A and B are shown apart, each in its own frame.
Chain A
Amino acid sequence: MIDLVAFIPRAVAQGIPLLYGSTGEIITEKSGNLNLGIPGVMYVGAISGVIGSFYYEQSLTSKDDINGFLAVFIPMLCCLVGSLIMGLIYSFLTVSLRANQNVTGLALTTFGIGFGNFFGGSLIKLSGLDVPSIALSATSACFSKTLPFAGSVGWAGKLFLSYGFLAYLGIIIALVAAFIIRKTRVGLQLRAVGEDPATADSAGINVTKYKYVSTCLGCMIAGLGGLYYVMDYACGVWSNDAFGDRGWLAIALVIFTIWRSDVSIFASILFGGLYILYLYIPAGIDHMEYKELYKMIPYVVTMLVLVITSMRNRREDQPPKSLGLPYFREER
């Protein structure tokens, strides 16, 4: 039997980057922009945070005079700025210059993953400092700090309180995003832009502004997912390609949750669990190969959900109607 108390916290830790990524992408897609650049954005978010905290740690004379606030604030700011720039590139190309969204997104992913791996692999050489590897244990400790009494309340503490603050922030952002999209005026207008920008435009909604803001905001949120991964989950150790295909899984999650970020909280944890399930299923030493098949489960499940939702063809389960299409006012 699987040890749930050990399994669930690890599933949550795996799920949080996916939650950030999918929340960001949901906000973006609600405005009609299909941003396939999210995997790249998450890499850039992660590496920007790493660069920030690398220079911060190098500027300290000893690891003991680390300032908890600065250690969190600097990487976070770098991460947000890095992902914002990615969002601006995407919005400028697709909204202002009306480029094809799929192509722009894929270019953004190529660029972003390259950017992450390049600086991850070359940061030490470029900075000219004499350190063996990028291991940001001191800043990472600030990120993964849990509540002081988390360890003393038994299994409940382990299940609910054993995570760094970014995990809770991710859940809060997902809830707030779901509320804003579904219950507020801003959300209504955002959905209108995603469904039918021409109608929204004639109702006096600034389509360009909504597309820009939601895409950039989405990228910044997704970038935080990368930051969580490297600073909290990976304990501040950057290794190239370690983040893997989580960005694509986040995009898959958007469909899996039918564009609802509150559902994504559970779905992300579920996917996180599926992602590491193979570690917990006894496969035996002779049959290591089945682990690889278990890793396939999230993708197969997403594929099935995609097909089933399209088969049922319910109106409320469909993607935003103008998803992937550029909007050009003069062509109305």
Chain B
Amino acid sequence: MNSKQPLFHITKRADISKKKAITIRLIAILAALIFCGIVTVALTGDNPLSIYASIFKGAFGTARKTWVTFQNMSILLLIALALTPAFKMRFWNIGGEGQVLIGGLAAAASMIYLQDKMSNGFVILVMIFASIFAGALWGLIPAFCKAKWNTNETLSTLMMNYIATQLVAFFTVVWENPKGSGKIGIINQNTHIGWLPDVFNEYLLVILIAVIVTLRMYIYLKFTKQGFELTVVGESEQTAKYVGIDVGKVIMRTMIMSGGICGIVGLLLVGSINHTITTTIAGGQGFTAVMVSWLAKFNPLSMVLTSLLIIFLNRGAGEISTRFGLNQSFSDIITGIILFFLIGCEFFINYKIVLTHKNRESGKEEQA
């Protein structure tokens, strides 16, 4: 070697204590919050303390705001949970957005076409089946291509998003109400047919479903045979084949489930929250959920925290932009910054930097 010996080298950590990993993540979040504070101060000229107070007020300022925060968080969490089994088998399902949309579309179609043919209870039943089926189908198509011909799933699920978006746009024109408005408007505003029932208040139903799915998914991944199979497929396809797992079948089965849960999210968005459908109803959360799931290391319980963090900042940034008359996209910038920090900090959890100089035993850690 004719080059100089480098100052440090990087080694993979064999194992890291939970406490240390959490500390590293907390430092990253803290650093990100400080950085976001600096950016906000630079843009608004307000003092930092009142900015942090606004963020908190935006998320938990009133009882209603708190409910909305938890409702939004539940939706994001549900999508993240839906994507997780796919990610665990290394199937990059970027198509959450489309699977949610198509599920919502199926629910909206049932509401519109069946409103005067069936009783409310039956319409809701049909909506549930239709949206799960539609979401599952949207997940199955890329999974089938992957299993059969090894088609790149990142790109095929991505394309399915836009096919779904255009389908929704198509039906928006078909169902336009009133004509010429360019939107569907509240579906069944007078009869409330197909509106999912309120539990206690209009927010709790979604939250309850999120709680149930979180626990169910945790058990599914950790304690069932199917959960074990998909983990093996994710770790090594060769091993899976060797022990007699039908890889294609696992991929398709998992994606049917993944898409189906996204379909449920579509159902909730249309049937419980918005009572209408637009092309932007999923609002990019299909993408955000990818990061929520990944940051939680595909652990359903940790996802509760990561989704809360993202929604908390999102609503807080929304409050700041309203207060200063700035654009609502401010929250995307804040989300982006937080994500960069959290993505970066994973490095310090997986690897350690060892100074070559004095051959010190404990590697020095730096924060990104």
Contact with A along B305-336 (1 / 0, CB 8 A): 00000000000000000000111111111011
Q: Given A111-B337, A115-B333, A328-B12: A300 and B291 within 8 A (CB)?
A: no
Majority secondary structure, B binding face: helix
Given the complex, which residues of B lie within 8 Å of A306, measured CB to CB?
A: 145, 151-152, 155-156, 159
Q: Is the CB of B340 within 8 A of A117?
A: no
For A91-114 the 0/1 string (1 means CB < 8 A from B) is 011000111101110111111111
Instruction: Point out the residue from B12, B156, B336, B343 that lies within 8 Å of A103, measured CB to CB.
Output: B343
Bound-state CA distance A13–B173 (Å) is 27
Nearest to A99 among chain B residues (CB) is B343
> What CA separation (Å) do A188 and B240 show in the bound complex?
35
Q: Is residue B170 contacting chain A, with contact meaning CB distance below 8 A?
A: yes
B205 adjacent to chain A (CB < 8 Å):
no
CB-based nearest B residue for A331: B12
A118 pairs with B329, CB closer than 8 A: yes
Q: Are B344 and A93 in contact (CB under 8 A)?
A: yes
A323 to B171, alpha carbons, bound, how many Å? Answer: 37
B66-74, B248-256, B345-353 - the one binding chain A:
B345-353
Chain B, interface size: which category? 35 or more
> Are B12's CB and A106's CB within 8 A?
no
Q: Let me know if B60 is at the binding interface, CB within 8 A.
A: no
Q: Given known contacts A97-B368, A121-B326, A289-B173, is B291 in contact with A106 (CB within 8 Å)?
A: yes
Question: Distance in Å from the Cβ of A113 to the closest Cβ of chain B?
Answer: 6
The reply to whether B294 and A100 form a contact with Cβ atoms under 8 Å apart is: yes
A303 touching B339, Cβ below 8 Å:
no
- Establish whether residues A296 and B152, one from each chain, have CB atoms under 8 Å apart when the complex forms: no
Contact residues in A for B339 (Cβ distance below 8 Å):
103, 107, 110-111
Cα(A11)–Cα(B343), bound, Å: 39
Q: Which residue of B lies closest to A303 (CB)?
A: B159
Residue B10 at the chain A interface, CB threshold 8 Å:
yes
Shortest CB-to-CB span from B122 to chain A, Å, is 28
CB proximity of B247 to chain A, nearest CB, Å: 16
Residues of the B chain whose Cβ atoms lie less than 8 Å from the Cβ of A252: 155, 158-159
Q: Is A307 an interface residue (CB 8 A)?
A: yes
Q: Would you call B290 and A103 a contact (CB within 8 A)?
A: yes
Cβ contact within 8 Å between B156 and A330:
no
Please determine whether A122 and B343 come into contact, CB atoms closer than 8 angstroms.
no
CB distance B145 to A310 under 8 Å? yes
Q: Report A273-323 residues with CB < 8 Å from chain B CB.
A: 288-293, 295-296, 299-300, 302-303, 306-307, 310-311, 313, 319
Indicate the member of A114, A115, A289 with the most B CB atoms within 10 Å. A114
Q: Which residues 166-207 of B sit at the A interface, judged by CB distance below 8 A?
A: 166-167, 169-174
> What 0/1 readout, one digit per residue, does chain B (281-299) give for beta carbons within 8 Å of chain A?
0001001101100110000
Q: A289-B170, A300-B163, A324-B154 are in contact. Are A125 and B294 (CB under 8 A)?
A: no
**A–B Cβ pairs within 8 angstroms, 21 of them:** A93-B344, A97-B346, A97-B347, A98-B350, A106-B287, A107-B343, A110-B335, A113-B329, A115-B329, A115-B336, A118-B327, A122-B327, A122-B330, A240-B329, A296-B163, A303-B163, A306-B155, A313-B149, A328-B12, A330-B9, A330-B11
